[in-house]
Amino acid sequence: MAEVFKVSVSAVVDELFAPVCFETAQIDEGTDPGSQVIQMVNNLLIKAVQEEASDIHIEPFQDKTQVRFRIDGILHQKFQLPKGILNPLVSRLKVMANLDITERRLPQDGRIELKLSNIDLDLRISTVPTIFGEKVVIRIFNKEQINYYTMENLDFSPENYRLVKSFLQKPHGLLLVTGPTGSGKSTTLYTALKSISSVEKNIVTVEDPVEYVLEGVNQTQINTKTGATFSTYLRSILRQDPDVIMIGEIRDLDTARIAVRAATTGHLVLSTMHTNDAPGALNRLIDMGVEPFMVVSSLLGVVAQRLVRRVCKHCRGGRQISDVRYTLPETADIQQFSDPPGCVKCSHTGYRGRIALHEVLKMTPFLQKLVLQQVSAAVLREASLKEGMIPMSRDGFNKAVQGLTTIQEVVRVCGEDNRLLKGLKAAVLRSKGGVLDGSSL
């Protein structure tokens, strides 16, 4: 059996990973006798980094092991490995992450730090037992990636950019960045901190965990083994004479209350929440138990964001949409939208990389009045739009017009409850000869 297994591993390595360049890899292979498995894990990581994957999924099934990469937010199947490779593969990853290789009944989380092709990587490992074995998900963080971002290249529209910059120039107050997991909230927060960092300011962060290291910023990581929470660290940090405080996430009432209190006592506070839109953050704070008057007195604004795939610059092109102008008056001057055919550079998807869609809410006297009245989320959103907030769907539409993304991507991320996007999607389908039910317009 051992010989058969060795041959099967060699075959998989040769066939699946032969095109990968290993010469520049700097992972320590050690002296583990299972060198074939070590090589496979190393090659798998190299392949994922080369394809700019954010996650690797290793999934056990009844008669195979499936490997998928999440690239630009979409999962792509990459390899199918023999079933017998799963356990050695998982064990190798556990060794690298200092996890218990004998524990296969309980979920485990770990971390791997390594240097690969002169790139510093931070890998977060999560294992979960399934009926066919342990499933592993590897989240890939490029530690140097944050150095490429500035406030100017975070894809803000000119209007939203001016608003966010004005928030960051305030001496005190609370700025929230909201969105689902993987929507780029951390990147926005870290870039914002970089933009205001100076020797005159004491900037302190509380994170779980620290994702990127920022020069000149005092970063603290919560030690969950001690039972400490965000609020535990925040109370201590407030005695550290901070000018700016970044909280990785507001998860509970205690943390929320400390954050708003700090924002009203002379500190600029930045944090994240999970809400579907910008106005929803106001309702979420109140639902947590924060007093409405504290929300009104502390909150500067909210940035909600999502990521959509960027049109591939190598095969980008437009498709004439002759009947858009008859679909909606808002599109009368638009001649075409991007419709990339796909090429080798983008693995024939038509997309390469991602851009952010935003909606930025600025607290105004009218919105403050509504918050004190504790109106519904729907009323608050309608009022925010009347006060000048550009909805995320409109921001996406504008970026589709600029050829940065496609209408299909905006609809995928923002949903189809928006009249403008529904009409545009219908027009795109008609231009391709698609079948459309007219009632959906």
Long-range contacts from 57-62, C-beta under 8 angstroms, 24+ separation: 57/135, 57/136, 57/137, 58/86, 58/89, 58/90, 58/135, 58/136, 58/137, 58/138, 59/130, 59/135, 60/86, 60/130, 60/132, 60/133, 60/134, 60/135, 61/132, 62/132
The single-letter DSSP state of residue 14 is H
> What's the CATH class of domain 2-143?
alpha beta
Confidence label for 441 from pLDDT (cuts 50, 70 and 90): very low
Give CA 168 to chain center in angstroms. 21
pLDDT given at position 347: 85
Check: pTM over 0.75? Answer yes or no.
yes
Please compute the mean of the pLDDT values over residues 61-82 and round it to a whole number. 94
Please compute the mean of the pLDDT values over residues 322-335 and round it to a whole number. 46
Q: What is the CATH number of domain 146-440?
A: 3.40.50.300
3-state class of 347 per DSSP? Answer: coil
**Bond before 209 cis per omega within 30 degrees:** yes
Provide the token pair at 373: 């009245």
CA distance 314 to 365: 47
pLDDT tens figures, 253-298: 999 999 999 999 999 999 999 999 999 999 999 999 999 999 999 9
pLDDT given at position 348: 86
Positive or negative, the CA dihedral 406, 408, 412, 417 is positive
Provide the token pair at 137: 């998900």
Provide the token pair at 289: 């138990």
CA distance 405 to 338: 7
Sheet bearing 65-71, strands edge to edge: 74-81, 65-71, 55-60, 133-142, 119-130, 108-116
Range in 109-118, 133-142, 146-155, 199-208 with the lowest mean pLDDT: 109-118
Backbone dihedral angles phi then psi of residue 228, each to the nearest 5 degrees: -75, 155
pLDDT tens figures, 186-242: 999 999 999 999 999 999 999 988 889 899 999 999 987 787 888 889 999 999 999
pLDDT given at position 406: 87
How many residues make up the chain in this entry?
441
**pLDDT at position 357 over 80:** yes
pLDDT given at position 314: 85
Please check whether residue 413 is in contact with residue 302, taking contact to mean a CB–CB distance below 8 angstroms.
no
Taking the domains of the chain in order of start, what are their residue ranges? 2-143, 146-440
pLDDT given at position 334: 52
